[in-house]
Structure 1
Amino acid sequence: MMAAKAIRPAVLLNRAAYILPGKLRVNELTFEVPLDHSDPSKGNIRLFGRQVLKHDNPIVPRTASEEEEFYRKPFLVYLEGGPGFGNREPQNNSITQTALDKGYTLLLLDYRGTGLSTPINQPHLATLGGPKEQAEYLKHFRADSIVRDAEAVRLCLTETVDDTHKTWSIFGQSFGGFVALTYLSQFPQGLREVFLTGGLAPVKRTAEEVYKALCKRVIDRNEAYYSKYPEDVGRVRKVAQFLHQNPTKLPGGGDFTVERLLGIGLNLGMNGGIDLVHNTILQLASDIEQFGFITRAAGAALEGQIPFDTAPIYAILHEAIYNNGPGKASNWAAYRIGKGIAEFGSAPGLHWLLSVKDALNYQSQEQPLYFSGEMVYPFHFDCYPELKDMKETAELLAQEDEWPQLYDLDQLARNKVPVYAASYVEDMYVDADFARETARLVKGTKVFETNVLYHGAIRAKTEEVLGQLFKLREDTLD
């Protein structure tokens, strides 16, 4: 069982209010919290968030007390996917309107290290010391620290409200669901209800188990891709062969390698992802045919698809999100699992993980090259500018086995906070079987499961997903 942890309220440094089109009243909030909540002497970091409310102009102006009552709504905190991403602006966030229509005050809080919350970047890491010091710093940017931040902000924002408004609701998309389950494990007393979309984390599973399952999902999506676009078997090989023979730089300065090309398979599990990958390959192949080189437009389009440079946490801490407690090092689990699958011939299309040269020159030219999925490999730290100087740090983190516990299975088993989840059978990022296992482990979880929506449905099919979630919350089961 995880020990209870006392959290001090965050310090509110600044609040600025604005009115945005779409009848949105936004308070931009800046907080200060400790880097290490258990040892404040290690210094502080900043958190940034946006508090979003409905705005209107009443015909008869409200009194001060009426105004206060009008804006006193229970909080719903949106937990973004990732790890490593800050929030979209409220007018561009898919849940904003529904949250406000349902009577919530929406809080878009950037996780530490993302967005405007002391974002992780290589030049700043370099000021902290060498790889050892950088790795030690980065260990404070997982979900266990994120939920302490959120709890500190809750204590700050609800300090003067009545007891019925002191708890808040949270909404976790993808990695945000992982954060939500850590929140349920550590601070359930702060929560009123939990919504999850594609975020039923594999709370009992190791990184190795996760990637064994996800590799199968990635292979399925590759087969679906080449079934829809069979001509791309030759196109992908042609582009890969060109990159192997012609060292190419991307507009942002990164090396455009075969491995980086095949990394765009990260998109295959999203709504429209297969078409996005096809259009990218079509543009690259067309450039090579017409000009004998890859144009800036094609390079820039590809560059923006994998966010390792702009969200380095996504790369450097990705496998660490599966390390639930001490004694568990990820040790490049995705790379080891992928190479094993390729070596034993169960997925020849992954042979490039063993040898790009062999995959291009000696395998049958009719054999498709498989794209990778949401996997981070050691060689990614050779071809992304923001990651190159983090390579030694990444190696230390991959070997690290002293991680804090993320989930308390005993607490989750006796959970009293309502949990409403949307889960996707064809999810390439969160294995559906493990999601079902987690739903059984967390007491009081209601699940809407579907095989006709994908991981990013909260953005692609917003009304459908939110309608089903709130139906779980508001309707009666017979």
Structure 2
Amino acid sequence: MAIQPARLLSRRQHVLPGMLHINEVFFEVPKNYAAPKAGTLKLFGRVVNRSEIPAVVPRLQPEFVSKKPFLVYLEGGPGMGNQPPQDVPLTKHFLDRGYQLLYLDYRGTGLSTPINAKHVTSLGDAAAQADYLKLFRQDNIVRDLEAVRLCLTEHSPRDRKQWSIIGQSFGGFVSLTYLSKYPQSLRESFITGGLAPIGKTPEAVYEATFKKVIERNQVYYQKFPEDVERVWQTISHISNSTDGAIRLPGGGLLTVERFLSIGIAFGMHGGLNAIHSQVLKMAADLDQFNFFTRSTLTGFEQNLGFDVAPIYALLHEAIYCDKPGVASNWAAARVGGKLKEFSWLAEPGKTEFTQPRAGEPVFFTGEMVFPFHFDTFPELVELKDAAGLLAKYDEWEELYDEDALRKNEVPVYAASFVEDMYVDFDLARETARKVKGIRVYETNGLYHNAVRARSEEVLAELCRLRDDPKD
């Protein structure tokens, strides 16, 4: 599919502390590349260079882009917009290595025509909403990247028209789609915790990741054995509340199922401690007041970002449907419901949690989306019917070209984590074998978010893969 350059709508430039020269830019791209006259979307990004002007003379540079090669950061998710560049550890690392950076919010995220219930429901019935949401996966994200690349490098010399990419988590999925569809546009690709399970069904993905979730629950309760009783205390209180739910300050519902979803943090550096702090706070409230305080409930709402980034819930299983004929059909719920540790997923809301079973821990789920989330998050409730249609849809575009990856000539450097709870290590290894020339740093000492939590270590290893010749 031929891609036309994105249209630059606006740019504003600023010098920030830390000697960063930022251009904030908005682009316009087709909503549907297969029907380019059917409407447009806006994309927001930040072009980052090092300011060469002393901080005491805060003049702005007239150039839009510098002569340095571009490195584009591809965020995780799906659904998360980019943080300000000054808050991202890799900014300094790669500026020091001679790049200029682009942080581009994917379509539907951040400031790039973000998905939200009010707008999506205004498009029509559930079928119309689902048709719109289908346009926000990896396939169209890489088309947007191509359109923006053509715009930004229009006046660049030939050796500067390619750019480098670095993809974290879901950003790695996007990277592999980019390598499949437009490898000629890439100089190199870095991937951290994002070697997508190419060729695996959603069921196979969740069969693998649930195993790691069980392991992380076991580690959690070994570290905080006192939380076995506290978790029972919390879910019993919720179960015995009116209609088995507690109204949250933001309008959502705290149910047992939603409470048990906060285990998504278990796979992060510091995640066990974060969940322990939440459980401790809730149990302390019950001991002192026999109810949850507003402070506690407000803090609880921050555990899952589905109200802030509903696209994360709407398309999470769809990113694993990598070719036509594959539908998710709520794969996580079906797979988890067959496991004794998560048997309540087979019939959520019907399992009795009112009578604690002494000494028996209740396990939290991980990075999974379930139908009950669309009953408990205000931003998802109105999109429940559209989500159901997406779960049944099986005509997805192919996301990866395995033949192209076998013939790959773009240098690829990846970090893969043995203890990754989100991107299964064994499946990641299978994917690495499908990409010609890839070099992989593997470790059991880091977790999924290491590019943020242990950035210098991860980035140094990736650059060592690139800079050190392979004997």
**How high is the TM-score relative to the length of structure 2?**
0.96
* Matched residue type, 1:367: E
Q: 1:71: Cα distance to partner?
A: 2.8
Please name the residue that 1:297 is paired with: 295
Count matched residues.
Answer: 465
Among candidates 379, 399, 402, match of residue 372 of structure 2 = 379
* Matched residue type, 2:173: F
Q: Does 2:328 match 1:330?
A: yes
Q: Does 2:306 match 1:313?
A: no
Please name the residue that 2:170 is paired with: 175
Query: What is the RMSD computed on CA atoms of the aligned residues?
Result: 1.8
Q: How do 1:228-377 residues align onto structure 2 when only pairs under 5 Å count? A: 228-246=223-241, 247-342=245-340, 347=341, 350-351=343-344, 353-354=346-347, 358=351, 360-361=353-354, 364-377=357-370
Q: How do 1:14-413 residues align onto structure 2 when only pairs under 5 Å count? A: 14-57=10-53, 71-246=66-241, 247-342=245-340, 347=341, 350-351=343-344, 353-354=346-347, 358=351, 360-361=353-354, 364-413=357-406
**Unmatched runs of 5 consecutive residues or more in structure 2:** none
Q: How do 1:374-453 residues align onto structure 2 when only pairs under 5 Å count? A: 374-453=367-446
For residue 53 of structure 1, give the secondary structure of its aligned residue in structure 2. strand
* Matched residue type, 2:181: Q
Q: Distance in 2 between matches of 1:235 and 1:133?
A: 44
CA deviations on 1:63-118 (whole Å, 9 max, x unpaired) are x9x98699311000000000001000011112100110011110000000000000
Task: Please tell me whether the aligned partners of residues 417 and 444 of structure 2 are also in contact (alpha carbons under 8 angstroms).
Answer: yes
Once the two structures are overlaid, the 10-residue window that deviates more, 137-146 or 291-300, is: 291-300
> After TM superposition, where is structure 1 displaced by more than 3 Å over at least 4 residues in a row?
66-70, 349-359
Change beyond 3 A, Cα 1:155–1:459: same
Task: Please tell me whether the aligned partners of residues 324 and 398 of structure 2 are also in contact (alpha carbons under 8 angstroms).
Answer: yes
* Matched residue type, 2:269: N
Task: Please tell me whether the aligned partners of residues 69 and 163 of structure 2 are also in contact (alpha carbons under 8 angstroms).
Answer: yes
For residue 208 of structure 1, give the secondary structure of its aligned residue in structure 2. helix
Q: Distance in 2 between matches of 1:404 and 1:352?
A: 30
Task: Please tell me whether the aligned partners of residues 48 and 110 of structure 1 are also in contact (alpha carbons under 8 angstroms).
Answer: yes
Q: Distance in 2 between matches of 1:57 and 1:41?
A: 43
For residue 102 of structure 2, give the secondary structure of its aligned residue in structure 1. strand
CA deviations on 1:211-235 (whole Å, 9 max, x unpaired) are 0000001000000000100110010
Q: 1:354: Cα distance to partner?
A: 3.9
CA deviations on 1:413-466 (whole Å, 9 max, x unpaired) are 000000000000000000000100111100110000000100000111010000
Identity rate of aligned residues, in percent? 55
For residue 360 of structure 1, give the secondary structure of its aligned residue in structure 2. coil
Task: Please tell me whether the aligned partners of residues 336 and 345 of structure 2 are also in contact (alpha carbons under 8 angstroms).
Answer: no
Among candidates 446, 451, 454, match of residue 458 of structure 1 = 451
Change beyond 3 A, Cα 1:43–1:70: closer
Change beyond 3 A, Cα 1:362–1:240: closer
For residue 420 of structure 1, give the secondary structure of its aligned residue in structure 2. strand
For residue 325 of structure 1, give the secondary structure of its aligned residue in structure 2. coil
Task: Please tell me whether the aligned partners of residues 350 and 370 of structure 1 are also in contact (alpha carbons under 8 angstroms).
Answer: no
Q: Distance in 2 between matches of 1:195 and 1:352?
A: 37
For residue 387 of structure 2, give the secondary structure of its aligned residue in structure 1. helix
* Matched residue type, 1:35: K
Q: 1:364: Cα distance to partner?
A: 2.7
Q: Distance in 1 between matches of 2:348 and 2:439?
A: 45
Q: Distance in 2 between matches of 1:69 and 1:355?
A: 53
Q: Distance in 1 between matches of 2:280 and 2:433?
A: 44
Q: Distance in 1 between matches of 2:345 and 2:120?
A: 32
Task: Please tell me whether the aligned partners of residues 352 and 358 of structure 1 are also in contact (alpha carbons under 8 angstroms).
Answer: no
* Matched residue type, 2:22: V
* Matched residue type, 2:466: R
* Matched residue type, 1:327: G
CA deviations on 1:43-68 (whole Å, 9 max, x unpaired) are 00000000000002269x9xx9x986
Q: Distance in 2 between matches of 1:69 and 1:78?
A: 18
Task: Please tell me whether the aligned partners of residues 350 and 369 of structure 1 are also in contact (alpha carbons under 8 angstroms).
Answer: no
Q: Distance in 2 between matches of 1:208 and 1:317?
A: 15
Task: Please tell me whether the aligned partners of residues 310 and 380 of structure 2 are also in contact (alpha carbons under 8 angstroms).
Answer: yes
